[in-house]
Structure 1
Amino acid sequence: MFFIRHLQQALASLGELWRVPASSLLTMAVLGVSLSLPTTLHVLLKNGEQLRSTWDNAAEVSLFLKEHVSKEQAAKAVNRIKLYPQVSKVIYVSQEQALTEFKQLSGFGEALSYLDSNPLPAVILVTPTSQFSSPEGARELLEVLEQQNEVAFGKLDVTWLEKLSAIVDLLKDAVFALGFLLLLAVTLVIANTIRLSILNRREEIEILKLVGATDNFIRRPFLYTGFWYGLIGGVIAWVCVSLMLWSLEGALSALANELDTDLMLDGLAFSEFLILIVLSAWLGWLGAYFSVTRHVNEIEPENQM
């Protein structure tokens, strides 16, 4: 009987919402848009974390060889470096290849043809394994590889990776703070909506108290109303975020083609969707609870004043 009574009141509160569809849908839309903002920030943060992992994996050590090193000596150095467990891939770029690439990329092909000798050194490009792909791990690998006799010096350009990583961490903290404020705003909106509903039904509540209805019985429909507001608002937020990601697919695909890379925006996983729905329903119930606890207790039948 207990669960049946709760189910009846839950369905009855949902029916009350649809009796005033315009105001109910407007409130749900406001909640949905408000919830979509922290949800969107979460999605962007999640994709930013994935992008940062690809940045870390992009760390590459450049080893510039000494001038007197022959191709045979360079080949031996390459084979020796491949034996290191920290190394994933090794590419040898000869002086001739380096000059050809520089001519193609710099646009100074004709000017370089007047040089008597090739000023560019041979280079060994080393890609670390995933365990050493972070800036710290790549630096450790660079210190080890610079000890090779054939190497003049090594270079590792990870300053930009560290700056981008710091920016992502800053955005992460900002997203959490802004998300908390937006969720608090959702709770306050629901609390105010329930307060207005209580005031509109003041006479009904007074009559219920006159006939002996308990405060819990009176509160229950309002709590379920807040629950429905939050639940449907969460669904609307999911729809808004999904539509936004769908609208960005074309622009993202064009950007990926320009950058010659794979760029994809991952939406909400099913577990994240469930968390969104449960969290929004809980916020609706919480806002209703705060409002009901205060305002229902203040209402008493006039003959008992």
Structure 2
Amino acid sequence: MPDQKLTAAITAVGGYVPEYRLTNQELESIVETSDEWIVTRTGIKERRILKDPEKATSDLAIEAISEVLRKKQLDPKDIECIICCTMTPDMQLTVTAAYIAWKIGAENAWGYDFTAACCGFLYGLTTAASYVESGRYKKVIVVGVDNMSAFVDYQDRNTCVLFGDGGAAVLVEPNTEGLGVIDSKFGTNGYGRQLMHQKAGGSLKPASHATIDAREHYAYMDGKAVFKYAVTCMSESITAVMKKNNLSAADIAWIVPHQANLRIIEAVAKETGMPMDKIMLNIEKYGNTIAGTIPLCLWEWEPRLNKGDNIILVSFGGGFTWGATLLKWAY
């Protein structure tokens, strides 16, 4: 009998969010807004904020990865690769994943930062799966994590209500039962750069007194335009991956959407014929944690997942980037 095809499966999930809760009521005292306005337009009631000025994205990632290590009783020295999916690295000119590996004692691991906005975790997971499916590695950590509060303009009510801090990590290992990452459908469109960006701080417009005075180091988004693109691209990605794998809505146990805006998620569910009781949601508690939203959902829903469940992860982010990944849950 021929050997079963090797697939790559998530075998453990760990997550972390900071303790501090920034509620809509507190935002009312910071910027001209209201709890009703925020909830009606976004579905967000609170978000977690990393308040300690001595901590950064790596600290969130380390907490999440540490939970994975505890669950699997895994020696950090057994980790072979760490992919840190983030838009908010600790520093420029240094690799956050390398620092994470050093701090947790993963002395045999190499790693790198993966930048794909809100699709970072999806793209990173697929990359990790390729490493495992090839037989090159057996234990890869993928962490989706962002410290967005460091880049939020709390004078802009259109963006400051959206973002929070946090992240989650998964361990990706070989599987011979046909479980794990099955398929993906991804896309990009560079036109999106003008609709969602941080204007200054990159090589195009380095930091200067002028850029700071102009408040160009904060997140900017054309919300209405992004909304339309997000609904279309996420819906088409879900439909494409289902069609390719001969799946109907009845075959899907869960859809795990990027948690950017509840109205986007509801529109995607309607477009794809998915009932809302199959949609994972935690946006009301955490807001948009960029690369952290999808793995944070898996972390919270882990007790409700069953071996063999068909799960579709779907996201849309700056760049533009978008896509969907089909998983068969492995435990």
The answer, yes or no, to whether TM exceeds 0.5 is no
By percentage of residues, which structure has more helix? 1
By percentage of residues, which structure has more strand? 2
